[in-house]
Amino acid sequence: MRKAIRPEDAAELIPDGAVVLIGGFMGVGTPERLIDAMVARGIRDLTFVANDAAMPGRGIGKLVTAGCVARAIVSHIGLNPEIQKKMIAGEIEVELVPQGTLVERIRAAGVGLGGVLTATGLGTPVETGKQTVEVDGKRYLVEKPIHGDFALIASQKADYAGNLTYSLTAHNFNPIMALAGATVIVEPELIVPVGVIPPDAVKTPGVLVDHLLARAA
């Protein structure tokens, strides 16, 4: 059984300079209260890995605005003009990765693969400096796994064993990131007794989860 902790206590676990996998799809499935606590703590030099940079004032966008981020590995930043300006000014380094490649690189880290092969990016600047291999006469880029010091994710439900369910587009990255983070911190909408979540509804098993956030008062 896990004891739920406060967002402020969870934020204290994350050091400056950490690599954090942050779940969410345009803010859906992002742990908002944990991010608020990280901003309040004044964390710095984060590398965040996520589908996108959300929007100003929402989710990851709060970390960008507060100057918490040094580097971002994302599939797009089109909804957040603040990170675009910081990238152009050289204040944040941004690595843009095609969405399918990004999630596969995270999954590779989570399941112990040495990388993934993809034809996406061949013949473009994306190929520069990367290893290529040939399989059955076709050439592929070797994309390396992306590991996280922490995975910061939101779930629809959790039980006190750490088993999780998700809703809608929160399924897109959260379950994969829970595999690839060395420490997994979860912000559930609802914590229920063990046994309430049917086994076949569990999308992330509790063995992967290190900390649950207590519900807001």
Q: Give residue 29's pLDDT.
A: 84
Where residue 40 sits, what CATH number does that domain have? Answer: 3.40.1080.10
Domain contains 41: yes
Residue pLDDT, tens place only, 94-121: 999 999 999 999 999 999 999 999 999 9
**Residue 1 — very low, low, confident or very high, per pLDDT cuts 50/70/90?**
low
Token pair 């399941």 in the structure block, residue:
111
**Domain span including residue 73:** 7-112+145-212
CA distance 155 to 164: 6
Q: Where are the alpha helices (DSSP H) in 32-128?
A: 32-41, 60-65, 81-88, 99-111
CB 38 within 8 A of CB 16: no
Domain contains 80: yes
Domain contains 217: no
Q: Taking Cα atoms as reference points, which of 29, 31, 79 lies closest to residue 52?
A: 79
Domain contains 178: yes
**Residue 126 — very low, low, confident or very high, per pLDDT cuts 50/70/90?**
confident
Token pair 């809608």 in the structure block, residue:
168
pTM over 0.85: yes
Residue pLDDT, tens place only, 23-57: 988 878 899 999 999 999 999 999 999 999 999 99
Taking residues 165-171, report their average pLDDT.
Answer: 86
Domain contains 118: no
Among positive and negative, which fits the CA dihedral 147, 179, 174, 8?
A: negative
Q: What is the mean pLDDT of the chain?
A: 94
Is pLDDT at 215 greater than 90 in this prediction?
no
Is pLDDT at 8 greater than 80 in this prediction?
yes
* Total number of domains constituting the chain: 1
Is pLDDT at 152 greater than 80 in this prediction?
yes
Domain contains 134: no
Domain contains 21: yes
